[in-house]
Amino acid sequence: MSIVSIITVGDLRQGEEIARRLVEERLAACVNILPSMRSVYRWKDRVEESTEFMLIVKTEQRVFEKMKKRVLELHSYELPEIIALNVSEGLESYLDWISSNVE
């Protein structure tokens, strides 16, 4: 089953590195890097604000654990956002493309 994973990073360079590694290692078929955004969140009993970049990772459920482990190796955050959303519908040929480009 295809999934979309959302990962946030603190700087563009790290986002580019994670994206490239995931695609090169066939843990993702495609990664979009969305431009700078503001995040507001609670961290260690304080409300924080920071600039982040969002990675939208197109991959398969069957490799999610391997992908998550790889992101944790590359990510600088103590507690990175790594979530996955099931893709319930989509262009069948695109979903097939995702599946065929992930190992």
Give the pLDDT confidence of 85-100 residue by residue, as tens digits: 999 999 999 999 999 9
> How many independent structural domains does the chain possess?
1
Give the pLDDT confidence of 16-73 residue by residue, as tens digits: 999 999 999 999 999 999 999 999 999 999 999 999 999 999 999 999 999 999 999 9
CATH assignment of the domain containing 20: 3.30.70.120
Query: How large is the C-alpha radius of gyration of the chain?
Result: 14
> Which run of H or of E encompasses 14?
helix 12-24
pTM (predicted TM-score): 0.95
How does 53-71 read in b/e, with b if 16+ C-beta sit within 10 Å?
Answer: bbbbbbbbeebbebbbebb
Strand residues in the chain grouped as ranges (E): 2-9, 30-43, 46-60, 82-86
Range of the domain at 83: 2-100
- pLDDT, position 33: 99
